[in-house]
Amino acid sequence: MGIHLTVRLGALAAAAMLTLGACGATAGKDDTKAGGTLTGLRIMVPNTPGGGYDTTARTAAKVMGDTKIANTVQVFNLPGAGGTVGLQRTVNEKGNGKLAMQMGLGVVGASYTAKSKARLTETTPLAKMIEEAGAIVVPKDSPYKTIGDLIAAWKKNPKKVAVGGGSSPGGPDHLLPMQLAKTVGIDPKQVNYVSYDGGGELLPALLGNKIAFGASGFGEFLDQVEAGQIRVLAVTSASPIAVLKDVPTLKASGVDLVFTNWRGMVAPPGISSADKQAWIDALTRMHDSKEWKAELAKRGWTDSFVTGDQFGSFLTQQDQSVADILKQLGLA
CA angle (212, 134, 189) in 5-degree steps: 55
The pLDDT > 70 percentage for the chain reads 89
pLDDT tens string 186-204: 998 899 999 988 888 999 9
What confidence tier does 113 reach under pLDDT thresholds 50, 70, 90?
very high
Q: Residue 21 pLDDT more than 60?
A: no
Q: Residue 6 pLDDT more than 50?
A: no
User: Which has the minimum average pLDDT: 50-54, 58-62, 156-160, 279-283?
Assistant: 50-54
227 shares its domain with 302? no
Q: Is residue 163 part of a domain?
A: yes
The predicted structure's pLDDT at residue 11:
35
CATH number at residue 206: 3.40.190.10
109 shares its domain with 144? no
pLDDT tens string 201-229: 999 999 999 999 999 998 888 999 999 99
CATH number at residue 84: 3.40.190.150
pTM of the model: 0.76
Residue where one domain finishes, among candidates 193, 224, 253: 253
What confidence tier does 27 reach under pLDDT thresholds 50, 70, 90?
very low
Q: How many domains does the structure of the chain reveal?
A: 2
Residue where one domain finishes, among candidates 237, 253, 269: 253
The predicted structure's pLDDT at residue 158:
97
The predicted structure's pLDDT at residue 30:
41
Question: How crowded is residue 171: how many other Cβ atoms within 10 Å of its Cβ?
Answer: 29
Q: Is residue 93 part of a domain?
A: yes
Q: Smallest Cα–Cα separation from 53: which of 278, 330, 264, 307? A: 264
Q: Residue 20 pLDDT more than 50?
A: no
The predicted structure's pLDDT at residue 35:
61
Residue where one domain finishes, among candidates 202, 235, 253: 253
Q: Is residue 7 part of a domain?
A: no
The upper half-sphere exposure of residue 239, i.e. CA atoms within 13 Å in the direction of its Cβ, equals 5
Q: Is residue 23 part of a domain?
A: no
pLDDT tens string 131-164: 999 999 999 999 999 999 999 999 999 999 999 9
The predicted structure's pLDDT at residue 12:
34
Q: Which domain range does residue 228 map to?
A: 132-253
Q: Do 320 and 120 touch, CB atoms closer than 8 A? A: no
